[in-house]
Structure 1
């Protein structure tokens, strides 16, 4: 009993030791799991922060890229506005009116399929003559003659039936062929009818194009003739064509009107440009990271004022240059030009015209100037022009300030 008691005690102690060891292992596993969970949480947090940082960096990069685009667009606009005069110096502004002559080019006929006849149907062939087959041989000796007679009768009966069917088919053949031809004829008639309609429509469109071209060419001939005689209408129309070819940005439209006086051979031109509000007053754009905003940095009043004044002076000289260069016939001896803008009068609320430049110059005097190396404002002063002291501020020219150059 004592031995058994000791064995039981030993087994109990061993079990307790095993239980304690298991508890320790479980505790160790739990701690390991907690460490793993903590590591996982830390790793997840790090990944989240990494992703958040990457997203933030990408957003900043996108904002900076947008800033670059805005600044590139702004630079492009400023370069265009600052080079309005230079842009025309490499262009021959003469318009050869013969280049405006209309040569009619007709499109191809839209339904060529209607010109192809519908294929004729395959003719219905004659039915083959029936063939009388030989009766089957009777091999049995019993009742042979009777069976041979029956076989022969069956052959004759079948032949007669085949013959009557053939005869009926032959008799029906003309009607079938006529019906086939009739259907083909109907299809062809529909095709020809549709072809007639489409041809008439096409020829009418061609005739209209020919008529319109003839009218335009006749008007062109009258313009060329009138220009040869120096008539006011022809000269004004030609100048309108020349100035219509003067390309300005869509966002800075410039319009012109011209009046020619044959008695003095002088052309009066009025140029209308957009107001100061159409020209950006921004120096550049920048991204403010603290507020996550793209904001414009305003240019100085001096830069804005000088830029708009430069535009005014450039457009005035450009117009004089284009018109004089285009007049190879020497139809006008001089040009009087007025350039301004339209705005709303704050006192009346109505549209009002404000002149910025008034200049009159003769051809010879103007053609002495090399426009590729001038300061436009000084050139206008050299020509005796009256110019606004502050076009940006919508200050008009002083009345009576023009001197004939």
Structure 2
């Protein structure tokens, strides 16, 4: 019996040990399964994070590429975009309006409701209270209440009068401010109308103001410079415009971006150098054409007949590190010629070539060109102001001088400017009235001077003749001075030659005033040219 019990106990022990072993193994398998599941989940999350990172990088590359493409599209459409916008510069658009504001008394509330006697009156005593002296106390309380009520009424009335007085003052101040604003708007509109009247009459100051408004209103991308200068010459209705062009870095150096998965980096795709240069040349051409278009398009009254435009870029010279402002585009066109252009269809660079514009052969490398017309805009306006003067009888008229006197005056002018100058003998001048040599050792060149004491247009053949003398004499420069004026063909020929300078009567008057201190009259005022429409 004892043996059987011992065997049974051992069997139970063995079963329990086996069960414990099985449970232990089961727990180990569960732990291993959970570890495998956790590892799989970790790897899945890592893959998801990695894929999300790759997606973000790819999206970043796509977004940056899209931004570059947007910038490029803006650059390609500079001219096109200006053809579809409404004209923002007009008397109606610039006129201001005054909308009177009603006076609002709510910020200054009154003293509130008037005091009520019910809030001050004491309670009347009952019959029993009257027997024990309550009637006398009530009379005293009533007198005190009436006194307080009277004081409250007086205070409320005083507050009401003060409030009414302050409110009336504020109402008057409000009305005064409204009147001031209305007067300021009316003054602005009156001045604006005066400016437009002056502009339509061809007054240089008001025409320049109008053209400034036109160019200021033009909407360019953010990185574009917005500086310009304008001058207007009433004698031939020509506008001289200097605009600031963007530098070469306006064209993105990147063609796009791509995400390289193997290296997990956003790689820049460079824009070919040839493409950058071509696009930059197109941008400059579009800026020039756009400025001329906006001037003619806004000038619906036809005040401006022609435009001379110089486009400069302000940048840093790569060789010297100094700031430079080379002229990269210069052109001259009139309204009749420009109106024939279908700007929505033209190739900008080809269009400039058609207009005989002078364009830098290498604008990307900032290779400058010589402007068709070089002038100081401030001084140019002063020259125009001398067209109308008082006291004509007290001032010498240049056309009344003898030819010899005029030639000597020109020689003295160049001496005053700082050159050594001589007059030539009349019988052997070969078309040369004076010769000037710069005292500057760097220039060290001969300047041929011809003086034309004319009262009418100087023909282009005179300019061509001077060019021949300059070439024959191998001179550094030729200057043709007249008391009258030159035609557009003469200016175009001189600009194309490159070593000729034309000085008309108005500029000659200014130079004599500045360098010789003499107030003179050139002669007849040139007729105002009008384009046929």
Report TM bin, short chain. Answer: 0.7 to 0.9
Alignment of 1:170-209 (within 5 A): 170-196=142-168, 198-209=170-181
Partner of residue 89, structure 1: 83
What is the alpha-carbon distance in structure 1 between the residues aligned to residue 17 and residue 88 of structure 2?
103
**TM-fit CA distance, 1:193:** 4.9
- 2:531 match: none
Q: How far apart are 1:170 and its partner, in Å?
A: 3.4
Aligned to 1:75: 69
TM-superposed deviation, 1:121: 2.1
After superposition, the Cα gap between the structure-2 partners of 1:168 and 1:116, relative to the gap in structure 1 and judged at 3 Å, is: closer
What stretches of structure 2 of length at least 5 have no aligned partner?
374-490, 497-533
Structure 2 counterpart of 1:396 = 368
Instruction: Name the structure 2 match of 1:24.
Output: 18
Q: What secondary structure sits across from 1:332 in the alignment?
A: coil
Higher RCO by CA contacts (8 Å cutoff, separation 6 or greater): 1
Matched, 1:293 2:287: no
Please give the secondary structure, in 2, of the residue aligned with 1:294.
strand
Whether contact under 8 Å (2:277, 2:364) holds in the other structure is yes
Contact 1:129 1:166 in 2 (8 A): yes
Task: Flag structure 1 segments of 5+ consecutive residues without an equivalent.
Answer: 1-6, 133-154
- The alpha-carbon deviation at position 115 of structure 1 amounts to 6.7
Alpha-carbon separation, structure 1, partners of 2:102 and 2:9: 105
Write out aligned runs for 1:1-400 (5 A). Answer: 7-93=1-87, 95-114=89-108, 118-124=112-118, 130-132=125-127, 155=128, 158-196=130-168, 198-346=170-318, 349-397=321-369
Alpha-carbon displacement from aligned partner over 1:9-51 (angstroms, at most 9, x marks no partner): 2222222222222222222221111111111111110000001
Say whether the 8 Å CA contact 1:60–1:289 is kept in structure 2. yes
Q: Is the 8 A contact 2:216 2:226 kept in 1?
A: no
TM-score (norm 1): 0.85
Maintained 8 Å contact 2:241/2:307: yes
Provide the rounded CA distance (Å) in 2 between the counterparts of 1:99 and 1:121: 57
**Structure with greater Cα Rg:** 1
Secondary structure in structure 1 of the residue aligned to 2:108 = helix
3-state SS, counterpart of residue 315 of structure 2: strand
* CA pair 207-347 structure 1, distance change in 2 beyond 3 A: farther
Task: Find the residue that maps to 1:85 and give its secondary structure.
Answer: helix
Q: Are the counterparts in 2 of residues 236 and 260 from structure 1 also a CA contact under 8 Å?
A: yes
Post-superposition Cα deviations, 1:283-324, rounded to whole Å, max 9, x if no partner, equal 001112233322321110011111111100111111111111
Measure the CA separation in 2 of the matches of 1:279 and 1:392. 10
Alpha-carbon deviations, 1:121-150, whole Å to 9, x = none? 223476676553xxxxxxxxxxxxxxxxxx
Name whichever of 85-94 and 195-204 sits farther off.
195-204
Deviations along 1:322-372, one digit per CA (max 9) or x if unpaired, are: 111111111121101111210123455442211111100111011011111
1:335–1:361: 8 Å Cα contact kept in structure 2? yes
Q: 1:114 to 1:248 in 2, by over 3 A?
A: same
Question: How far is the alpha carbon of 1:205 from its aligned partner?
Answer: 3.1
Counting matched residue pairs gives: 376
Q: State the SS of the aligned residue for 2:304.
A: coil
* Deviation string, structure 1 residues 226-281 (Cα, Å, up to 9, x no partner): 11311001111111111122101122233322110001110011110221123211
- Separation in structure 2 between the aligned mates of residue 74 and residue 106 of structure 1, nearest angstrom: 48
Q: With structure 2 as the length reference, what TM-score do the two structures score? A: 0.66
- Compare 395-404 and 290-299 and name the one that shifted more: 395-404
SS of structure 2 residue aligned to 1:114: coil
Match of 1:373, SS state, is: coil
